[in-house]
Amino acid sequence: MPSCSLFGGDLRGGSLLQAEGPDTGKTVRNPPIQCVLLRFLLRLCACLPAKCRENRGDITMVTRRIMHVDLDAFFVSVEQVDHPELKGKPVVVGGRPDARGVVAAASYEARALGVHSAMPLRTAARLCPQCIFVEGNFARYSETSRKFMAILAEFTPFIEPMGLDEAYLDVTGFESLHGTIRQMGYSIKKMVRSELGINASVGIANSKVVAKIASDASKPDGLIEVAPGGEAAFLAPLPIRRMPGIGEKTEPVFKRLGIVTIGTLSQMPAESLKKLLGNHGEHLRNMALGIDDSPVQAREEAKSMSRETTFGEDVHDRQVLEATLRYLSERVGAGLRRNGRFARCVTLKLRYSDFVTITRNCTLQQMTDADGVIFDAGLKLLRTALLKEKKAVRLVGIGVTGFSESGRQLSLLDDTTLRLEKLDKAVDRIRGKYGFGAIQTGRTMKLKELFEENERGYNLHTPGLSR
Ligand SMILES: [Mg+2]
């Protein structure tokens, strides 16, 4: 499982990394009491097989059933729900075709024309001039993701979210509740479709790795169940690219060795694979045989929160950098307050015109959720960095870590901090009612010259959606 770092660009480790963009901060639906009762019963029933396993101390006595649910072309699907005229068209989410960011998601129609995620937007525009490019709306994706996870929670409490649009579910012993696990998979697909308007693909197997490969293989809008004992046979004919962890770089290495399918990989002598790839070789071989005991683990609370943006053109102007940093600090601060969190560490991220990227951090004397305190810390780090390096800046970001919900000694807080925090909350209320532009600091006014505004804030270039 990938580890998460601040600015890691990946939500898997529980980071609240958000590309800059509008944010509603709204959460989930409120389940009716029947749902709460049903969920309680499900949890009770679901605990039984797990308990049995523990008591027997023999995990092999129970055949695990793991389900992997993955929303199809997630960002694009949300856009198509909001803008039905995009349905059936080649759509690219991530920014304008002349922007410098990368493709965050492509519709199946765009994929057929050679466009894929992480491809530079300009390359996508060249390959597919007829593609429709949309900026993306991260707040909508987060909101839809929360609803998706809430739907899954109605089926099992054992959920391991992977990013915004996929999750592993441990559904061992759930047959009696849903008829069969396959029927449960179809019920999930149906509920996701009717409540979110999006297709989900489902894989069911005895392990996470096989369930994931099965859901990938079933796309779009499919369901594949691999019967216990049938894992190796299911995997054997599939291209090795289907294996998690084998990507653009490693695939050619295997191909040079004549390993094209997962089946040939599984037949490689363990020693040769170990020689070639160390312990990872053995792990890959086990996965190729469908052997994977890793448990479904509920995700930990987010440990970091950050905002960053790439400029349309590299920036030398210190005022612009500071104004952007101020704006990003305000978005981070608003995120903290919305989540009732306080942070102790502030991290600045800079990417220069030559793509060299640095991060600098500092620890605050007191935990805070105040925009001003976060910005001041970030500004000090920025000024120190700019003194040392004169290159133009391509990307700037600010993040916070070291969270607590109530880890502060109020008696140690000075008047200024308390006043700042009170002011932030008042500003949040006004912005919540009248839009971000209703109140701006002198510093962020500078951004009016550079970016368009909408009711939720500045429309920064190349929002660099994390997934
Ligand atoms: Mg997906």
Each residue's pLDDT tens digit, 400-447: 988 876 555 555 556 777 777 788 888 888 887 777 777 887 788 888
Distance 200 CA to ligand 1 centre (A): 8
At residue 410, the pLDDT reads 56
Q: What is the pLDDT of residue 227?
A: 94
DSSP label at residue 412:
G
What confidence score (pLDDT) does residue 50 get? Answer: 42
Query: Which residues in the chain show pLDDT less than 70?
Result: 1-62, 299-302, 405-414, 455-456, 461-467
Count of beta carbons in the 10 Å neighbourhood of residue 274: 16
Q: Which domains does the chain have, with CATH numbers?
A: 24-70+140-288 (3.30.70.270), 74-137 (3.40.1170.60), 304-459 (3.30.1490.100)
How many angstroms separate the alpha carbon of residue 166 from the centre of ligand 1? 6
Among residues 109, 166, 322, 421, the one annotated as catalytic is: 166
Predicted local confidence at residue 224, as pLDDT: 97
pLDDT at 155: 87
The DSSP code for 239 is B
Quote the pLDDT of residue 38.
52
From CA 124, how far away is CA 80, in angstroms rounded? 19
- Report which of 224, 198, 219 is spatially closest to residue 111, judged by C-alpha positions: 219
The CA radius of gyration of the chain, in Å to the nearest whole number, is 24
Please tell me the predicted confidence (pLDDT) of residue 396.
Answer: 93
pTM comes to 0.60
Assign residue 88 a region (left: φ > 0; alpha: ψ between -120 and 50; beta: otherwise).
left
What is the Å distance from ligand 1's center to 192 Cα?
A: 13
- Tell me if residue 282 is catalytic: no
pLDDT for 463: 46
Which residue in 126, 84, 81, 79 sits closest to 105, CA to CA?
Answer: 79
CA of 216 to the centre of ligand 1 (A): 9
Q: Residue 62: what pLDDT?
A: 65
Residue 136's pLDDT is 86
**pLDDT recorded at residue 153:** 87
What was the pLDDT predicted at 59? 39
- Whole-number Å distance, alpha carbon 79 to ligand 1 midpoint, is 14
Over the stretch 344-382, which tens digit does the pLDDT of each residue have?
999 999 999 988 889 999 999 888 889 999 999 999 999
194's enclosing H/E stretch is helix 181-196
Q: Which runs of E-coded beta strand occur in 116-252?
A: 132-134, 159-162, 166-170, 200-205, 223-225
